[in-house]
């Protein structure tokens, strides 16, 4: 009798697993705003908002994808220039509230701040086991030469792609644009006019779309323990600033930025491999800020390459006073990581350890301890 019950339980489990394997993946499109969501009214020649609830009707090509698609839009779509941390939380909560209902998510935002937004979401989601793909377009979806359809269709196809064990191929936050899928927190926007608007100088694409959709699986981020529950960090500290150096920057300019009320963090954009003026006044101002518990991160102004504090004489002083090395992190990702870590109430030693360590694949392993 006991053996019979055990066999029945195994059979029921088998049925549940096979039912899960045979069903189509469910994909949720989250539209926040941006160029991609506009369509032309050919009677008036004016652009109007695209109804994503009618997406398969307006883009019949989506019917060919082996997945079920639903869409949800912000009550008031926002221009990406108005993006801020409260909208990051709204995006995160939209995904959180639908996480168990869907197998993947495609987030549509304006491209101007997409790398900032997608980087922030990557840090907010801990133990992520499903794909979150950010995309947008340079031209509205209703334009004759639009890049929107390809970006959207391929992003959905990536989100519903499965491995042989029926787990998602992608289980991280990514950005797809112009035939390439990138790790989101490695990207930066490099062109305001060309369709190839984004790049990832320090990390290869995770996938490339051509005649075939080719995944570079050995570059993908994998959780060390995929049984850990999803954790969403919704508290971000935005009392930070970016201080970009330039030849001739004055003591007054640096002092005024470092003395901003309630300032908690600085992304210091330096020259080349992390170099900066080694003048006494400059180093003293930075040292004073660090003593006032302001976390300062050294990030290179270059689109590619990395900070190597101490390699040149003009970066030795930065290392000695306690400036944190950003290694090969992007400015966009550094901003997001600062916002995330500043809420954790870490000591300077702890903060330095976690910032210089790769948490979501944002820093190359060669730098991460």
Contact indicator for 356, 327 with CB cutoff of 8 Å = yes
User: 2 pLDDT exceeds 50?
Assistant: no
Domain boundaries defined on the chain:
14-232, 240-355
The structural architecture, per CATH, of the domain 240-355 is 3-Layer(aba) Sandwich (3.40)
What angle do the packed helices 280-291 and 251-258 form, to 10 degrees? Answer: 0
- CATH assignment of 14-232, given 1.10.510.10, 3.40.50.800, 3.40.50.1170, 3.60.20.10? 3.40.50.1170
pLDDT tens digits, residue range 244-293?
Answer: 999 999 999 999 999 999 999 999 999 999 999 999 999 999 999 999 99
- Per-residue pLDDT band for 1 (boundaries 50, 70, 90) equals very low
Give the pLDDT score at 99.
97
Q: Measuring CA to CA, which residue among 53, 52, 109, 49 is closest to residue 79?
A: 109
Instruction: Tell me the average pLDDT of the chain.
Output: 91
User: 50 pLDDT exceeds 80?
Assistant: no
Q: Which residues are catalytic?
A: 35
Check for a shared fold between 14-232 and 240-355. yes
What residues pair up with 46 in beta bridges, in sequence order?
A: 41
pLDDT tens digits, residue range 121-177?
Answer: 999 999 999 999 999 999 988 788 889 999 999 999 999 999 988 899 999 999 999
Q: Measuring CA to CA, which residue among 139, 131, 142, 141 is closest to residue 175?
A: 131
pLDDT tens digits, residue range 65-82?
Answer: 989 999 999 988 899 999
User: 17 pLDDT exceeds 70?
Assistant: no
Give the pLDDT score at 58.
72
């Amino acid at each position: 009798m006991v053996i019979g019950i055990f066999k029945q339980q195994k059979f029921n489990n088998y049925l549940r697993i096979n039912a899960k394997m045979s069903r189509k993946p469910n994909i949720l499109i989250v539209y926040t705003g941006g160029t991609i969501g506009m369509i032309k009214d050919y009677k008036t020649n004016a652009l109007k908002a695209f109804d994503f609830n009618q997406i398969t009707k307006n883009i019949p090509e989506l019917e060919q994808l082996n997945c079920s698609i639903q869409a949800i839009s912000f009550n008031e779509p926002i221009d990406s220039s108005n993006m801020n941390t409260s909208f990051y939380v709204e995006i995160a909560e939209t995904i959180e509230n639908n996480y168990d209902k869907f197998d993947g998510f495609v987030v549509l935002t304006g491209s101007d701040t997409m790398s900032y937004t997608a980087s922030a979401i990557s840090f907010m989601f801990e133990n992520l086991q499903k794909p979150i793909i950010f995309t947008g377009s340079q031209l509205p979806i209703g334009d004759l030469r639009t890049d929107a359809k390809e970006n959207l269709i391929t992003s959905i196809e990536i989100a519903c792609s499965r491995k042989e064990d029926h787990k998602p191929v992608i289980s991280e936050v990514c950005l797809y644009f112009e035939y390439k899928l990138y790790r989101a927190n490695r990207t930066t926007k490099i062109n305001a006019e060309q369709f190839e608007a984004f790049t990832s100088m320090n990390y290869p694409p995770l996938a490339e779309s051509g005649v075939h959709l080719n995944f570079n699986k050995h570059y993908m981020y994998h959780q060390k323990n995929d049984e850990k529950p999803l954790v969403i960090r919704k508290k971000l500290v935005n009392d930070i600033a970016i201080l970009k150096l330039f030849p001739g920057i004055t003591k007054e300019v640096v002092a005024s930025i470092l003395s901003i009320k309630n300032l908690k963090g600085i992304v210091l954009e330096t020259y080349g491999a992390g170099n900066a003026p080694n003048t006494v006044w400059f180093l003293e101002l930075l040292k004073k800020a660090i003593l006032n518990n302001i976390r300062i991160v050294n990030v290179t102004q270059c689109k590619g390459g990395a900070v190597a504090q101490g390699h040149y004489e003009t970066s030795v002083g930065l290392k000695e006073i306690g400036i944190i090395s950003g290694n090969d992190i992007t400015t966009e990702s550094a901003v997001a990581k600062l916002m995330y870590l500043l809420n954790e109430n870490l000591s300077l030693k702890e903060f330095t350890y976690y910032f210089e360590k790769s948490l979501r694949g944002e820093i190359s392993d060669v730098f991460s301890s």
